[in-house]
A and B are shown apart, each in its own frame.
Chain A
Amino acid sequence: MQSSAANLLVLVPLLPLVGAVCTVLLGRRLGPRAHLPAVAGIGAAAVVALLLLLGTANQVGGGHADPTHPVEPVEMISTLWQWATVGDSRSGDLPAAEVGVPLAPGSAVTGGAFSIPIALRLDPLTATLLTIITGVGLLVAIYSIGYMHDDPGYPRFFALVAMFVFSMSMLVAASNFLLVYVFWEAVGACSYLLIGFWYTKPEAARAAKKAFLVNRVGDFGLALATFLLWMTYGTLNFHDTHLADGTIVEGILGEFRLADEVGYVGGAVGTAICLLMLLAACGKSAQMPLHVWLPDAMEGPTPASALIHAATMVTAGIYLITRSAPLFVGCPGALTMVSIVGATTALVAALIATVQNDLKRVLAYSTISQLGYMFVALGTGTMLGFTAAIFHLVTHAFFKALLFLGAGSVMHAMGGVIDMRRFGGLRHVMPITAATFLVGACALAGVAPFAGFFSKDEILAALHAKAHPEAHGSDHAEAGSAGERPRDLAGGVGLVASVPVRPFRPGSMITRVSLSDAHDVSHEKVGLDALDHPSTWRLLFWMSLLTAGLTAFYTFRAVFMTFTGPVRVPKEAGHHAHESPSVMTMPLLVLAVLSAFSGVVLFATNALSGFLSATPSLTAPAVVRTAVPHVFHWEIAIQGTLAAAIGIAVAAIGHLGRRSDSPQLERYLGPLGTLFANKFYFDQIYAALIVKPLEALSLVTAFFDRAIVDGTVDAIGQVPLAWGSAIRRMQSGLVQRYALAGVVGVLAIVLALAWQLRP
C-alpha cells in the first residue's frame, strides 16, 4: 500500500512534466493538436490525484471525523533520492558531525553528512491541494483548447501550463523547506512566462517584469526564513529522518516534534521566522503591500489567469502558512499580523474592485480580497480557522476559476474587449456563459446555498470565536479537555524519550515556547504579541463583514453591467458575437456545478475539515486544543447573508437593467471614488518611493558600469590576448626550440624552488 501510494504520488508531478516535455519536443509537429500531451498528462495526473485523495481519506477513517476528536496524523513520505551528498561514512571522516554544526536537511542514509533528500509527502492537506491543482488545471487546459485556438504560441502555452501544474504539484508535495523554496521559484517562473505570454505587447512584458520583481521581495523573505529555520532546527525536513545509527533527526513538522509541547521555538526568533514566511506569502498570494502585481498579471491569457492567478498559485501562501501552523501558533503576534494583513488587504482590494470597469480587473481585485479572507482565517490560529481557510481555498478555486473562464468566454466573444462599459445584455448573446457566471457570482458573493456562503461563514465564525472568547468559553473548556487527553502517537511520549534525538542547536537567542501558553489570553503579552487581543479581533470581524458586503456589491455590479440591460456589442466583436464553443462551455458547466454544490456537500458532511485535521501540521497539541464541535453558526450566517443582500441590492439599484456605460457609483463617492479608482495610489507611491530613486541610481550605476567596469574589463581582456599572441609565437613548430624552452623552463623552476625552499 505504502509503496504503491508512493509510486502514485510521484506520478502526479511526473505526468504533467512528461506532458510539458513532449509538448516542447513535438509541439511544432503536432500543430493544432499540440494540446494533446499536456491535456493527457494533466488529466492522468488528475485521476491519480483523485485516487490518492480517496486513499488518504480512507486512511483517515472515512473522512467524517469531527475535528474535536483528535485523529492520528496521516502522512506518507516518499524519498526519491538523496541529492548533493557530501562526505560519507565509508571514509571515516565526517567533518560536519565532528564539529557539531547543524546537520543537513535530512541526512537519512549518509550518517550525518550533508545531503538533501528529494522527498515527497502525502497527507490530507497535500492530497486536497493536489486534487484541486490537477482538477482545475485539467478544466483550464481543456478550456484553453478553444480559447487559445489559432494563437501562434499554442504549443508554448500548453507546455507552460503543464510545466506549471508540475511545479505547483511539487510545491505542495515537497517535504522539505528547500524543495518548497525551489518550486516556489518554479511556479513564479511559470507565472512570469505566462503573464508575458504575449511578450510583444509592451503591457504584457511590463506586467511580467512587475510580477517578477515584486515576487522577489517575498521570495527573499522565504529564503531568509529557510536560513533561520536551518539555524534554529538544524534540519529543513518536514518529516523525521531515521539515521543509520538509530538516532532520529526531528523534522520540523515530524511526529516527535509535533508531540512535544515545547518542540517549537518562540520569542524573537520564532516570530522572525513567521513574519518572514508571512512576507513570502504576501508576495506569492498578492497581499498588501505586495499585491500590486496581481491586477497587472491579467495581461496574460485568461485561462492562465484563471489557473495561476486565481485558483492555484496565489494560494501557495495560504498553503505555506497552513503547513507551518505549529510554528505560527507559538507566535501569537505573528499570527495576529497574518489576520491584520489579510483583513486590510481584503477590505482595500474590495473597495478598489467596486469602481473597476475592466471585468478581469474586478476579478483580480476580488481574488486579492478573497485571499485576504483566507489570511484572516489563518491568523486566528485555531483549528476552525485553518480548516476554514483551506475550505475557502477549495471553493474559491472552483468559483474564481469559473468566473475567470466566464470572463474569458466574454472576452473571446467580444473580440478581446473586456471593458464592461462597452458591452451589455450579453445574457441574450451567450446564455451558458451568463448562467454559469451568475452561479459563480452567487458563490463569490456568499449567497446561500452556493459554495462561497459556507466557506465564508466558517471564516467569520472562526473570527467571531476569537473576538468573543467569553461567548465561546464553553467550547474552549471542552476543547481543553480534548487536548489533555494523552494522544496515542506511535507509542506515545515514552518512545520519544527512549530515542536519542538531536537537540536544538545550542544558542543563546533561542527560547523554547510552551505551546500550552500560546492561547492563554490572560498571559502577559509584550511587543507584537500584545496585538492578540479580543478588541483587535472584533475590529477584524467587522472589517471582514464589511468586505463581504462589498464583495456582493462589486460582483453583482459586474454581473449586471455585463449580462443585463440592452444588448450592446463592441465593433471589435464583428457581426456575429456568439456563445463560445462547447470545448469552452463544458468546463464552465463543470465548474458551475462544483461552485454550486461543493460548499453545501463539504459542509454538511463535514468531510473536508475532519479530513484536514489529520494533517500532521494540524495535529500539534496547540492546534488540536482549539478545535470546536462542528456546528452551523446561525447568527453569523444571518449577518453574512444580510451583508451580501445589502451589497446585491445596492448593485441592483445602481446597475440592474441600465446601460453599462451609464454613470457610475464612484461619482457619488466624491474623493473616495477617485481614491478607489486609483487603487489607493499604491503604484504611484511605489513609483515615487522605490522605482524612481532606483532608476536614478541605475543611471549612475549604468554609467559606472559602462565607463569604468566595462572599460577595465576591456582593458583586461586585451592582456590575455597580448599574452596569448606572445605565447603562440613560442609555439614555432620547431622541435629544437621546444627542447630549448624545456631546458630554460627547468632552470627557471630550479631557481624558483631554490628561492622558495631556501633553508
Chain B
Amino acid sequence: MNPDRNLGTLLDGTLHDTLAVSLPHFRPELCLAATIVLLLLCRMLPVLRLVDSGFLALGGVLFSLFFAWNDVLTLGGGAWASSLGDLLAGRQELFGGLLAFDSLTAYIRLLLAGFLVLFILFTKVSGIPDREDGADFYTLVLGATLGMCLMASANHLLMVFMAVEMASVPSYALAGLLKGRKASSEAALKYAVYGAGAAGVMLYGLSLLAGVLGTCHMPTMARALASLDSMWMPGGTGMALAIGGLMVAAGLAFKLSAVPFHFWCPDVFAGAAAEVGAFLSVASKAAAIALLLRVAFGLGTTGSGPDHAVQMAALGETRHFIVGVVALLAALTCTLGNLAAYGQTNMKRLLAYSTIAHAGYLMMGVAAAVALAGRDAGASRSAVAAVCFYLGTYVFMNLAAFAIVALLRNSLRSEEIASYAGLIRTNPGIVVATGVVLVSLIGLPPLAGFISKFLVFSSVMESVSLDAERPLMLVLLVVGGINTVISLFYYLRVLKVMTFDPPPADRTADAFPLVSIPGALVTALVVPVVSLGIFWSGLYAFARFAGAFAS
C-alpha cells in the first residue's frame, strides 16, 4: 500500500469527478455566479457603472437559461420520445454526491431561469430597483437564485442546509430593499431573526439524523433507514430520528411559509416591495417545493437496485412518517392561509396569504407523491408531474398578480384593495387581466390554475383509490375542496371592488392602459395563464419529464 499513490488516485478521481462530470452539468449555476462577479466588478470601476446592471443580469440569466434548456434536451435525449430508462440512465450525482443531477434538477433550473428572465423584465418596467440600487438588487436576486438551484438539486443534508441559507440570506436583504421605509426594515429584521431561528432548528435536526444514521448523504441515509428494524425501536433511536426529522421539516416549512412557520410571510410581503414579493412567492416557493421533494424522496425511497423492492418495503414506515408530517402541514397551511386572507385590505398581504394557501395545495401533491411511491411508481411519478406542472403555471399566475400590484402602485400610489375601486370604468383591460389571474388562482376552468389544481387533486384521489394512506388522503381531498371554495370569496371580492364599487373621489391618476409597456407586460404574463389552460399538453410533457425523477 502506497499512501502517496492512494492520495494521487483520490485526487485524480476528485479532479475527474469535478471537471469532467460535475462542472458540465453545473453550467447554469456557473453562469449565475459569473454574472454576480461581473455585477460586483461593474460597481467598482467608474467607467463600467454606465452599464445598466439590469440588462447585464438579464444577459447572464439568458446564458443560464440556454444551458438549463440544453440540459433538459440532453437529458431527454434530444427528443421527447426517449424512454424512462434513458432518463434514469442520465441521472448522476455531482461533486461526490453533494448534488443530484436528474430531470427534476433540470426542470426546476429551467423554471427558475425562465422566471428570472420574466422577473428582470418586470423590474425594468416597474422601476424598482432604481439605477442606484440595481447592482445590489440583482446581485442579491441572482445569489438567491443560485441557492435555489442548489436546493432543487441537493442530495446531501449539508447541501440542503447550505442551499437554504444561500437562498435565504439574500432574501433577508431584499426584504429591506426599500431603505428608509420603516415597514420594510422591520420586515427584513423579522425575516432574518425568524430565518436564523429556523436555520438553527434545522441544523440541530440534521445533526440528530446524521448522528443516528452516520451519514448525511441522502441515498445512503435511506439505505440505513431501510436496515433499521422499526422506527419505534427501544433506546430512543427512533425518537431521535423522529425529532430530527421534525426539526428538518420545521426548517423546510419556514422556507415554504407553511403553518405554523408562516408568520414572517405576511409581514415581509406587506413591508417589502411588490417586486420582492413576486420573487419570494414564486422562485423561493418553487425551490422549496423541489427541496421538499428531494428530501422526501431522498429519505423515503431508494434508487433501483437488486433489492429495490425489499428496500422500498422497509422504508414504508419512513414514508408513513413523511406523509404524515407533510399532509398535516399541508392541510393546516392551506386552511389557515385561506381563512386569514379574509378581510385583508392590503393587496400584498392578501397575496401573501394566497401564497401560503398555494404552498398548502402544492404540499398535498407532494404528500400524495410520497404516499404513492410505495404503491405504484407510475402514479407517484404522475403526482410529482402534477406538482411540477402546478409550479410551472404558478410562475405566470403569481408573477402576473404581483406585477399588476406593482404597476398599479406606480400609477395609483396605493396597494390597498379599496383604491382599486371602479377601475373597470377607466381601465377595463387591466380589470379583465386581473380577473383572469385571480380566477386562475382560484382554480376555475378554463384557466391554467384549474388544470394545475385538477392534476394535484387527482393525484390525491389516485392515492385514495390505490389505498395509499387512504384516510389521510381522503382528509386532504376534502380539505382541498373546501379550501378552494373558501378562496373563491376573497379573490372575487377584489374583482367586486374593481367592478362594482364606485371609484374613490380622491383618485388623482388613472391606472396604466393596457396598450402601453406595462400593459404589454401584464398581457404577456396573462396570455400564458389562459393558453396553458387550453394547450397544457406541452408543459405537461415537461412536468412528466421532471416527474420521472421519482423512481
Contact = CB atoms under 8 A, between A and B. Distances in A.
A748 B336 CA distance: 15
A753 B84 contact: no
A742 B260 contact: yes
B180 to A, nearest CB: 19
A741 B194 CA distance: 12
B338 interface: yes
A725 B336 CA distance: 11
A716 B473 CA distance: 24
Interface string B170-200: 0000000000000000000110011001100
A748 B328 CA distance: 11
B339 A723 contact: yes
B261 A724 contact: no
The listed residue with most B CB atoms (<10 A of its CB), out of A81, A92, A739, is A92
A84 B537 contact: yes
A749 B260 CA distance: 10
B82 A90 contact: yes
Contacts, number: 120
A456 to B, nearest CB: 45
Given A95-B378, A745-B259, A90 B84 contact: yes
B341 interface: yes
| Majority DSSP secondary structure for residues of A touching B | helix
Interface string A722-759: 01110110110101001101101110111011001101
Interface stretch (B141-149, B154-162, B540-548): B540-548
A193 to B, nearest CB: 19
B490 to A, nearest CB: 9
Contacts of B486: 720
A749 B544 contact: no
A724 B343 contact: yes
Contacts of B87: 90
B263 A741 contact: yes
Given A88-B544, A731-B340, A753-B321, A738 B263 contact: yes
B260 A752 contact: no
A720 B338 contact: yes
B263 A742 contact: yes
A749 B548 contact: no
A196 to B, nearest CB: 23
B190 A735 contact: yes
A742 B250 contact: yes
A735 B537 contact: no
Given A81-B535, A91-B381, A745-B261, A724 B341 contact: yes
Interface string A163-187: 0000000000000000000000000
Contact of A749 (B189, B246, B537): B246
B339 A91 contact: no
B532 to A, nearest CB: 12
A741 B265 CA distance: 14
B197 A739 contact: yes
A220 B87 CA distance: 46
A751 B231 CA distance: 16
Contact of A731 (B194, B266, B321, B338): B266
Contacts of A738: 190, 194, 263-264
Interface in B374-392: 377-379, 381-382, 385
Contacts of A750: 243, 246
Interface string A512-554: 0000000000000000000000000000000000000000000
Contact of B242 (A717, A730, A753): A753
B266 A91 contact: no
A724 B342 contact: yes
A752 B328 contact: yes
Contact of B489 (A89, A720, A727, A752): A720
B336 A727 contact: yes
A322 B193 CA distance: 74
Interface in B503-551: 534-537, 540-541, 544-545, 547-548
Contacts of A85: 537, 540-541
B55 interface: no
A725 B340 CA distance: 7
A744 B261 CA distance: 11
B20 to A, nearest CB: 28
A399 to B, nearest CB: 41
Contacts of B338: 720
B83 A92 contact: yes
A690 interface: no
Nearest to B472: A756
B81 A90 contact: yes
Contact of A720 (B246, B339, B544): B339
Contacts of A748: 260
Contacts of B232: 759
Given A85-B540, A90-B544, A723-B339, A749 B266 contact: no
B80 interface: yes
Nearest to B265: A731
Nearest to B487: A720
B94 interface: no
A91 B548 contact: yes
A115 B537 contact: yes
Contact of A741 (B260, B328, B544, B545): B260
Contacts of B329: 749
A727 B339 contact: yes
A717 B489 contact: yes
Nearest to A81: B535
Contact of A93 (B82, B231, B378, B534): B378
A414 to B, nearest CB: 40
Contacts of A757: 231, 320-321, 324
Interface in A71-97: 81-93, 95
Contact of A724 (B84, B231, B266, B340): B340
B537 A92 contact: no
B250 A724 contact: no
A108 to B, nearest CB: 12
B267 interface: yes
A720 B250 CA distance: 26
A746 B250 contact: yes
Contacts of A724: 339-343
A748 B332 CA distance: 12
A721 interface: yes
B11 interface: no
Contacts of A83: 534-535, 537
B536 A84 contact: yes
A588 B189 CA distance: 79
B343 A753 contact: no
B228 interface: no
Nearest to B342: A724
Given A91-B381, A742-B260, A721 B342 contact: yes
B121 interface: no
A432 to B, nearest CB: 44
B10 interface: no
The listed residue with most A CB atoms (<10 A of its CB), out of B230, B325, B329, B339, is B339
B84 A92 contact: yes
Interface string B129-170: 000000000000000000000000000000000000000000
Nearest to B82: A90
Contact of A91 (B246, B267, B547): B547
B535 A90 contact: no
Interface in A672-731: 717, 720-721, 723-725, 727-728, 730-731
A725 to B, nearest CB: 6
Nearest to A738: B263
A753 B323 CA distance: 11
Contacts of A742: 197-198, 250, 260-261, 263
10 contacts: A84-B536, A84-B537, A89-B81, A90-B87, A724-B343, A731-B266, A738-B263, A745-B259, A745-B260, A756-B324
Given A90-B544, A725-B342, 11 more contacts: A88-B544, A91-B548, A92-B378, A720-B342, A721-B342, A724-B341, A731-B340, A739-B194, A742-B197, A753-B246, A753-B328
The 3 nearest A-B residue pairs measured at CB: A745-B260, A93-B378, A724-B342
